[in-house]
Structure 1
C-alpha cells in the first residue's frame, strides 16, 4: 500500500498546489497546530515535519524551532518544499537516530499510513526525553444537519487510518491532550479536494489518476452545501 500512496502523491503535485493556493487549508491547519505546539513547548531546537509535502506546514513550523527537517515519502512533492533540509523517507521507518528531535509534527499526514502504531513508535524513538508529538486527523464531512456527506453516495471517502486509530496509536506511547476543529466549507470545496488524484484514490483506488478524478467529480456533483469538515488534533509528551 505504501508504494501506491507514494505514486498517488507523486502525480498530485500540481493539483495539490492548486487546491492549497485556492483554499489555504493545509496552511491553516499548520497554523492551528503550531499554536498548540508552541503553547505546550516554547522554543525548540529541532523539529521534524513528518509528511511535509510541498511545504504548507513547513513554512509555519519553521517559526517554532532553530532547525526543521521536512520529510515526505514523495520526492516530487518534497522537491517543491522550501525547507533547507529535505529528506525523502517513510515516517514508518525514520532514517534518524534515537533522540534526534524535540518535536515531531504530523500536519494532516499520520492518517495516511495504514500502520499508525508503527509511525507512533518511530516518532517516540526519535524524540528526546520530554519531547512532543502533534498531529491532525480528519473526522469526515457532514451536512448542516449532521449527516455524513457520503451517506447517500455509492462510495465512501476514508483515509488509510481513521482518526480513532491515530489517537489510539499515539495514546499508547504519549500522554495526550486532544481537541476538535470544525470548518464550514462549500460542497465545491469537497469536489475540489477530491480533484487531487491522491485524494480521489480513496474513492476509486484502481483507476488511473485522470479517470479517478473524473469519476470523483461525477459522484460528488449533486452534493449540496454548506458542509462541515471536522478535524481531531492531538498533542502528546514523552513520559
Structure 2
C-alpha cells in the first residue's frame, strides 16, 4: 500500500500544482487548519511538522506562521517542489524525529492516505511536546444542492484508503478533539481537474495505471456540469 501511495504521488506533481493554481484549495485548507490549531493550543506554534507536505503548498503557509516548519512527505518527487522549509522524505508510521520535538503536527489532506491512521497518530503524539497540537483535514465529498454526492449519480464510489470517520476516531482515541466542516463552492471543471491528478483519480480506479485511471475519470466526469460544494472535515487535538 505504501509503495502504491508513493508511486501515485511521484507522478502527480504537475497535475497537483495545476489544480492548486486554479483553485487555491490546499493552501486554503492549510490556512484554516493552522488557525484552528493556533486557537486551540496554549501558545505560539514555534515548531511545526507538515506531515504530508506534498509539493510545499501547505509548507509555505505554515512557514509564514512559525519559527520553524519541517516538510515531510513519502514522495521524493513531490518534495522537490518544497522551497520554504527543510524537507524530509519519510513515512507517517515511522517519523524520523526524536520525542517531544514539535509544538504542532499538521496533516493537511494527508492522514486519510495512511492505511492505519492509529499508527500515524501515535507517532504524531510521540513527537509532540506537552501541550502540543495535532490537526488533520479529511474529505467529505462533492455534494449537489440537495446534499447528494456527485458520484452517487455516476454509480461510482470515490474512496480513500481510510474513511474520514476512521481518521477522526483515531485522533479522538489519543487526543481530546474539536471538529468541524469547511465548505467550498466549486465547479464541474474543478472536479475534473482534481481527478486529472493521478493520486486523486486513484480514489475512483485504484487498480489501473496512472494514465488509465486519469483517462477513465475523464470519461466518467465528462457529462457532469454545474456547481457543487466540496466539503472537508477538520479535527484538532491537544497533547497532554
How far has the Cα of 1:226 moved from its partner? 1.4
Matches within 5 A, 1:7-26: 7-26=7-26
Q: Does 1:155 align with 2:156?
A: yes
What is residue 192 of structure 1 aligned with on the other side? 193
* Separation in 1, partners of 2:30, 2:106: 9
CA contact (8 A) 1:176 1:234 kept: yes
Q: 2:46 is paired with a residue of what secondary structure?
A: strand
* Separation in 1, partners of 2:100, 2:44: 17
How far has the Cα of 1:208 moved from its partner? 1.8
**Structure 2 unmatched runs, 5+:** none
**Structure 1 unmatched runs, 5+:** none
What is residue 115 of structure 1 aligned with on the other side? 116
CA contact (8 A) 1:52 1:72 kept: yes
TM-score by length of 2: 0.96
| 1:16-40 alpha-carbon deviations (Å, 9 max, x no partner) | 1111111111011111111112222
* Separation in 2, partners of 1:122, 1:7: 23
CA contact (8 A) 1:139 1:231 kept: yes
Q: Does 1:28 align with 2:28?
A: yes
Q: 2:185 is paired with a residue of what secondary structure?
A: strand
Size of the aligned set, in residue pairs, is 239
Matches within 5 A, 1:1-239: 1-41=1-41, 42-239=43-240
* Separation in 2, partners of 1:67, 1:233: 23
| 1:62-108 alpha-carbon deviations (Å, 9 max, x no partner) | 13321111000000000111133100001111011111111100111
Q: Which has the higher mean CA deviation after the structures are superposed, 57-66 or 229-238?
A: 57-66
| 1:161-216 alpha-carbon deviations (Å, 9 max, x no partner) | 11111100000000101111111111111111001001111111222211211110
Q: 1:63 is paired with a residue of what secondary structure?
A: helix
What is the RMSD of the two structures over their aligned residues, measured on CA atoms?
A: 1.1
CA contact (8 A) 1:143 1:225 kept: no
